[in-house]
Copies of this chain bind each other. A is one copy, B any other.
Amino acid sequence: LSKITIKDIAHKAGVSITSVSFAFNNPERLSEATVQRILEAAEELGYIPDPIARSMNTRRTGTLGILVPQPIFEIARNPFLAEFLEGVGEVCDTAGLSLMIVPPLEGSMRRAIVNAAVDGFLTLGLELFKATMVVLHQRGIPFVMVDSDPVEGIPVVNVDDEGGARAAMNYVLQCGHRDIAILGIRSDKAGHYQEYTGTLKRRVNGYLAALADYDLTVDDLHIRLVECPSTLKGGQQAFHQVWKDSPRPTALVAMSDIIAIGAIDAARRSHVQIPRDLSIVGFDDIPMASLITPRLTTVAQPLRRKGKLAAQILVKRLENDPSVPHHMLPTELMVRETVANLGQ
């Protein structure tokens, strides 16, 4: 029904379509009277320029896309995204950009990338790495990778996942725990942590390194990796799964806070007391982590800063800044109340 075009106005105001366009975009090139007349006609007709047609030759959409590896439905469940969005939002708001969440289309990353009418992409924890990179290049618009393995020529923003993970596991070991379940994030590499890439890989590497310091490995009977979705429910189910195990773990090392919090919740409902009966450490330090009781011991990563930085880089690229920064933001172990020291 948005039938009213520049032509209708031109007709009504008795001018050419060029003049109408000028009236909006270059008023100083027209006589004031003409501009006035055109604007009035537009007002009367309730004219709104078609954003798509406009984008057609400005080559700009005014929105940037966040390419996420999971359906919106799923990704919205992880508070991780919200905080990341806060940072991205800061930049968008000041730059006057909108934000498009671009999930795989019918399971295909390619289709998603191809279809999205955006000026640039922020990729979040890319999966199907190689294939996706190719499409991204073909698409020919700037993109910045977040939480991915660094690639020559592409801006990347990462955090020190490995260092953080190592610190977390090391702390748990220091506290005397030797029966440990790692609560991993389920990916397409289900069960094969050796094939992990990006963030997952770096975190697992950190855990392994800390274990190695104690001559421990993950395939030990006492140390195991259990995968679950990075959601509250995922954490709850993971708790029930490992709690039946024997030997029963004395500590859970979760790869995300939301998993850890889910596990804590399930534990509480099962009258398992944290940290007396079971220790837990998370990863991310989402706001909820310090709001629950007991306060979650976890690895803090600067989620907002990460989002803001990545968005800033992308915006610069849109303005043809040729630099290709690679950032590695620090992580920090936040010792709080969910890990018991077995020595005491």
Contact = CB atoms under 8 A, between A and B. Distances in A.
Given A92-B72, A288-B288, A291-B288, A101 B103 contact: no
A161 interface: no
Interface stretch (A31-39, A78-86, A192-200): A78-86
Interface stretch (A53-61, A124-132, A201-209, A324-332): A53-61
Contacts of A1: 140
A265 interface: yes
A82 B48 CA distance: 31
9 contacts: A46-B137, A52-B55, A53-B56, A63-B117, A65-B98, A72-B85, A98-B102, A98-B115, A232-B287
A254 B61 CA distance: 39
A292 interface: yes
Nearest to A75: B89
A48 B114 contact: yes
Given A82-B79, A287-B232, A291-B288, A116 B98 contact: yes
A139 interface: yes
Interface residues of A, number: 64
A76 interface: yes
Given A46-B137, A291-B292, 16 more contacts: A2-B138, A2-B139, A2-B141, A51-B114, A63-B100, A71-B93, A73-B90, A73-B93, A76-B83, A77-B86, A98-B103, A98-B115, A99-B101, A232-B291, A265-B291, A288-B288
Contacts of A72: 85-86, 88-89, 92-93, 99
Contact of A115 (B62, B101, B103): B62
Chain B CB count within 10 A is highest, among A47, A76, A105, A140, for A76
Nearest to A90: B73
A70 to B, nearest CB: 9
A14 B98 CA distance: 41
Nearest to A110: B48
A105 B55 CA distance: 17
